[in-house]
Amino acid sequence: MDETLLLIPILFSFLVIALASKEIGNFFRRLGLPLISGFLFTGIIAGPYVLKLLSVDAAEHLIFLEEVALAFIAFAAGSELNWEEVRYRLRSIGLITGGLVIVTLTLGSLALLFLADFLPFMQSMPFTSRLAVAILAGAILVARSPSGAIAVINELRAKGRFTQTVLGVTVIMDAVVITIFAINSSIADALLTNVSFSPTFLLLLLAELTVSVLLGLVLAWIIRLILNWELPLVKFPLFLLLGFGVFLLADETRHYSHDLLPFEFLLEPLLICMIAGFVVTNNKKYSSHEFSDILHLNALPVYIVFFTVTGASLQLDVLASTWPIALALFGVRVVSIFLGSFLGGTLAGEPAYHNRVRWLAFITQAGVGLGLAQTVAVTFPEWGQAFATLIISVIVLNEVIGPMLFKWVIHLVGEAHPRGATPDFDGSRDALIFGLEDQAFALSRQLTAHGWNVRLASRTAARHGIPDPSDVQILPIPDLSLESLHTLNADRAEAIITMLSDEENYQICELAYENFGTDRLVTRLHERANFERFHALGALVVDPDTAIIGLLEHFVRSPVATSLVMGMAEGQDVVDMEMQNQNLDGRAIRDLNLPVDVLILGVSRNGHTLRSHGYTRLHLGDRVTVVGSEESLEQIALRFEGQT
């Protein structure tokens, strides 16, 4: 009871710190630094060595939060390993993974073993204990960051042989490293307790791994049952409780086996949770998408808790004396990654140029590596926290430098497909429509009536059944290549509308996205299954099967607003304008002296929609949605897009 009463104020204090950690993490991200660096920084500042908002004892009381988060990280690591995505390049992925594991594990372990005399917590250890610590460090240095790799790939829209191989290796590495860590933990425990290596020990190690795998399968079955429930709000908390229960089971098993048996029986909770995540994700009978979605949607609060507690647990006095060792381990890891990836890629027959630069894609570390370091801190409390402080400092270096190198190498091999630079507004609203049919002509006439310069592009001159198009400019093109788009001056178009087949539409949208950064891509969809492809390009998708139903629904629910949007309210309209007037930069909406019949509905800035009010300040490049009379909107357009 006393312990519970003591925990309550600690949890409330930590809640306040976690809220601050979220904001500081966002600030770090705006500076171009990893989000988790902000969380770690907050924990360090709030911890016992700086502001002392959390004492050493308080940090120890929060260990259970770390274990809950570690289980979540292991679930996520397992769910990211999609067998269908890696099996087609399994030989290359397997050989490169093998090269990375063997070289990094070997050189990383040897490096820490040779540097032991410079580490205070290892100086008094006998050789067997030093070897135990070294093999644990070697295993953690093998870890990668699938989430970081996926984020970079999505940001650059990277695709190609190099990217597929790197992603496959990075994702499968988490499963490999957790398995290696489980084996090395058992070996390290035997070395630290002077257990002799014999056939009995090997059988015990095999039994521990077998039981962990079986428990992972049981846990996957339990997760499947929970996913089948019609209670969505309780699923995520139950997953966290299950993960924490795995850690409690492993801890109790170790204690009871120590007291009742002549040996300790070690279960590896991270391996159990990872196997469960992998089985749920790759078994089609399970609700794999729902499980992955739950993990993705709830990742941020878990990471805030984990990394903030981790930062508060860092021993800064140890870090102050061991940072040169951290730099040395960072350097050894980089060399190991180069040698391992080059060796594996060469054996796999990968292109020589890829083999020389692939190492740049494998530097990043994050969740799993930090989780393994904290697992050592909990499992071996005598020296584990000092060990974790050293390893975490190496991981932070990798996390800061790795993504920048990964982005650079993706561009280097020519597999990056980011959005092109959007040209400045030239004062004329241009729209380019691909397609030659009744809807294309009708849209062209409506846009022209609202002051747009509209052109239709077509690869055919056939106009059977189409009304006289003398009022519409039709431009013939030989194909849908980039050269054809340049001849159409597509790079100057504010909007491109595609009304061809889905494949042709996607070809046009992708070219416009990558080369022109076109502000508005609008496409008419034929197959619903293609929605995500267009959505990833930022295209506005019109599905004819649902558009009419949605329109009728809005007429029923909001007839006045819908009439405005549809242009059916006489003398009224809704338009988007880009704020280009430098004289208005930084001015609040309430100070613009807008006409009384004009209302600003919203402001879009850097991809985010702002809830505008009188005190909202407009900045250059803001896209402003305005409703009002046609005459007043023309006046506002002159002010926003001109220099008056």
Q: Are 331 and 108 in contact (CB under 8 A)?
A: no
Cα 516 to Cα 48, 406, 508, 579: the distances in Å are 52, 24, 11, 20
3-state secondary structure of 588: strand
Judged against a pLDDT cut of 90, whether residue 584 lies above it is answered with no
Q: Which is more confident, 1 or 72?
A: 72
> In this structure, are residues 480 and 504 in contact, taking their beta carbons and an 8 Å threshold?
yes
Residue 187 has pLDDT above 80, yes or no: yes
User: Would you say residue 234 has pLDDT above 60?
Assistant: yes
The CATH number corresponding to 430-542 among 3.40.50.1820, 3.90.1560.10, 3.40.50.720, 2.40.30.10 equals 3.40.50.720
What are the residue ranges of CATH 1.20.1530.20 in the chain?
2-412
Q: Is 603 left (phi over 0), alpha (psi -120 to 50) or beta?
A: beta
Instruction: Name every residue whose Cβ is closer than 8 Å to that of residue 522 and which is 6 or more positions away in sequence.
Output: 495, 496, 497, 498, 539, 540, 542
For 134-148, write each residue's pLDDT tens digit.
999 999 999 887 766
Model pTM greater than 0.75? no
Cβ-Cβ contacts under 8 Å for 106 (sequence gap 6 or more): 138, 336
Q: Please give the pLDDT value at position 470.
A: 62
Are 190 and 197 within 8 A, CB to CB?
yes
Average pLDDT over residues 81-88: 70
- CATH 3.30.70.1450 positions along the chain are 570-641
**Per-residue pLDDT tens over the stretch 145-170:** 776 677 677 777 787 888 888 888 88
Helix axes 161-192, 63-79, angle to 10 degrees: 140
Residues counted in the chain: 644
What tokens does 203 get?
Answer: 């059988």
DSSP letter at 225?
A: H
* CATH 3.40.50.720 residue window(s) in the chain: 430-542
Indicate the SS3 state at residue 54: coil
Q: Is the distance from CB of 204 to CB of 179 less than 8 angstroms?
A: no
**Three-state DSSP class for residue 619:** coil
pLDDT digits (tens, 9 = 90+) for 587-630: 888 778 888 777 787 788 776 777 777 778 888 888 888 887 87
pLDDT, residue 462, reads: 47
Cα gap 504→502, rounded to integer Å: 6
| pLDDT at residue number 1 | 46
Per-residue pLDDT band for 79 (boundaries 50, 70, 90) equals confident
Check pLDDT > 70 for residue 85. Answer: no
Sign of CA dihedral 293, 296, 301, 303: positive
Q: In what order do the strands lie in the sheet with 572-578?
A: 572-578, 623-629, 599-605, 608-610
Q: Which long-range contacts (CB under 8 A, 24 or more apart) does 282-286 make?
A: 282/81, 282/82, 282/83, 282/84, 283/220, 285/224, 286/220, 286/223, 286/224, 286/227
Neighbours of 307 (CB within 10 A): 28
Q: Which residue has the tokens 């809005």?
A: 554
pLDDT of 185 reads: 86
Regarding beta strands 540-542 and 599-605, do their DSSP bridges make them parallel or antiparallel, or are they unpaired?
Answer: unpaired
Backbone angles phi, psi at 509, to 5 degrees: -60, -40
Q: What is the dihedral of CA 278, 284, 288, 290, to 10 degrees?
A: -170
In the predicted structure, residue 232 carries a pLDDT above the cut 80: no
Question: 3-class SS at 627?
Answer: strand
453 near 475, Cβ under 8 Å? no
Nearest by Cα to 45 from 27, 69, 63, 31:
27
- Give the contacts of 182 (CB within 8 A, at least 6 positions apart): 208, 209, 212, 268, 270, 271
Tell which wins on pLDDT, 351 or 437.
351
With tokens 């020389």, the residue in question is: 356
Per-position DSSP letters for 234-290, written without gaps between them? HHHHHHHHHHHHHHHHHHHHHHHHHHHSSS-----HHHHHHHHHHHHHH-TTS-HHH
pLDDT for residue 181 is more than 80: yes
Give percent of the chain above pLDDT 70: 89
Q: Of 85-94, 429-438, 602-611, give the range with the top mean pLDDT.
A: 429-438
pLDDT of residue 564 exceeding 80: no
Task: Please write the tens of the pLDDT for every residue from 385-413.
Answer: 889 888 888 888 887 788 888 888 988 98
Query: Using an 8 Å Cβ cutoff, are 166 and 152 in contact?
Result: no
How does pLDDT run across 203-220, given as a tens digit for each residue?
Answer: 877 888 889 889 999 999
Candidate CATH numbers 3.30.70.1450, 2.60.120.40, 3.40.50.12780, 3.30.420.130; the one for domain 570-641? 3.30.70.1450
Q: What is the mean pLDDT of residues 320-334?
A: 90
3-state SS assignment for residue 629: strand
- Specify the CATH number for 2-412; select among 1.10.579.10, 3.40.190.10, 1.20.1530.20, 3.30.930.10: 1.20.1530.20
Quick check: 329 pLDDT over 90?
Answer: yes
Tell me the pLDDT band of 565, cut-offs 50, 70 and 90: low
Query: What percentage of the chain has pLDDT greater than the value 90?
Result: 14
Q: What's the confidence (pLDDT) of residue 553?
A: 66
Specify which of 254-263, 350-359, 474-483 reaches the highest per-range mean pLDDT: 350-359
- The 3-state DSSP class for residue 397 equals helix
